Structure 1
Amino acid sequence: MADIQAKLQTLSEEFTKLQQDLQDAVQSRQRLEAQKQENLGVQKEFVKLKEGETIYKLIGPVLLKQEKTEAESTVKGRLEFIDKEISRLEKHIKETQGKIEKKKGDIIQAQTSAQAAGAQAANA
């Protein structure tokens, strides 16, 4: 009986760790999505710029002039990176959800075994 309790405890700890991992991945994905929206907004602003208007880039406490093509390239690169990271995180989230479901099944199976062992001990 103690063996089953130890197994249940271990499974429960693993389940909790998987849930925390999932929560962290979802939060990371949300941050990336916010950054993506921000960069898409910047990209839309580039379209509104007239020829010859100046673009400034904030680096620390200083604003520096930047060429439009360079700024557009930087934002495009950021968006590509963010999209790749979102895809990677979505894959990780799906894998973690699958592991959580499997761990749930293992826990239910262990609980059923513990109940059956308890019923056998009570009958004996």
Structure 2
Amino acid sequence: MAAATQKDLQERMQTVALQLQKIEDELQSTVEVRQRLDSQLTENEQVKKEFSVLKLDDVVYKMVGPVLLKQEQSEAKTNVDKRIDFIQNEIKRTESQLKEINERSEKKRLEVVGIQQAAQQLQQGGETEV
């Protein structure tokens, strides 16, 4: 490999910094998705808890647009259970995404450190390879 110049290292650092910024943006949006899922899970678990205190003859309504429609309790409970399962699966998927994004971020951070070390060596008078 050819010896790296200061200009080569600066260009490489800019490229890696942009890649790292994209990864950080992706991480931020994934964290926001995870937070929304947590909120939805909490809401649905609260609804499920409220369903547990209903009597068999209590009426349940479902909001469809601006209208409240009567709904069977069993159907409403089933829908909430399905929603909870779906949200829990989405949380698992999001958690694995977060893990993968964090791993990529760490690799880019190490790459930045390597470039910085090469730049320091170059400034101290030695040629380096990137």
TM tier, smaller: over 0.9
In the alignment, does 2:28 pair up with 1:50?
no
2:100 pairs with 95, 100, 104, which one?
95
1:2 partner letter = K
Q: State the TM-score, normalized to the length of structure 2.
A: 0.90
Find the aligned partners of 1:85 and 1:50 in 2 and give their Cα distance: 32
Find the aligned partners of 1:14 and 1:51 in 2 and give their Cα distance: 57
Structure 1 residue 62 displacement after superposition: 0.2
Find the aligned partners of 1:39 and 1:116 in 2 and give their Cα distance: 57
2:3 aligns to what?
none
Structure 1 residue 114 displacement after superposition: 1.3
Give the total of aligned pairs. Answer: 121
Structure 1 residue 119 displacement after superposition: 2.0
Find the aligned partners of 2:92 and 2:59 in 1 and give their Cα distance: 34
Map 1:1-20 onto structure 2 (within 5 A). 1-20=6-25
Instruction: Give the ranges of 4+ consecutive aligned residues of structure 1 lying more than 2 Å apart after TM superposition.
Output: none
Gaps in structure 2 of 5+ consecutive residues: 1-5
Find the aligned partners of 2:71 and 2:30 in 1 and give their Cα distance: 34
SS in structure 2 of the partner of residue 57 of structure 1: strand
Could you report, residue by residue, the CA deviation over 1:23-47 in whole angstroms, capped at 9, with x for unpaired residues? 1111100100000000000001111
Find the aligned partners of 1:75 and 1:97 in 2 and give their Cα distance: 32
2:88 pairs with 53, 76, 83, which one?
83
Q: Percentage identity across aligned positions? A: 40
Find the aligned partners of 1:7 and 1:103 in 2 and give their Cα distance: 12
Could you report, residue by residue, the CA deviation over 1:85-119 in whole angstroms, capped at 9, with x for unpaired residues? 00000011011111111111100001111121122
2:119 partner letter = A
Structure 1 residue 120 displacement after superposition: 1.5
1:79 partner letter = I
SS in structure 2 of the partner of residue 48 of structure 1: coil
Structure 1 residue 3 displacement after superposition: 1.1
Find the aligned partners of 1:51 and 1:105 in 2 and give their Cα distance: 61
1:105 aligns to what?
110
Question: C-alpha root-mean-square deviation of aligned residues, in Å?
Answer: 1.0
1:60 aligns to what?
65
SS in structure 1 of the partner of residue 52 of structure 2: helix
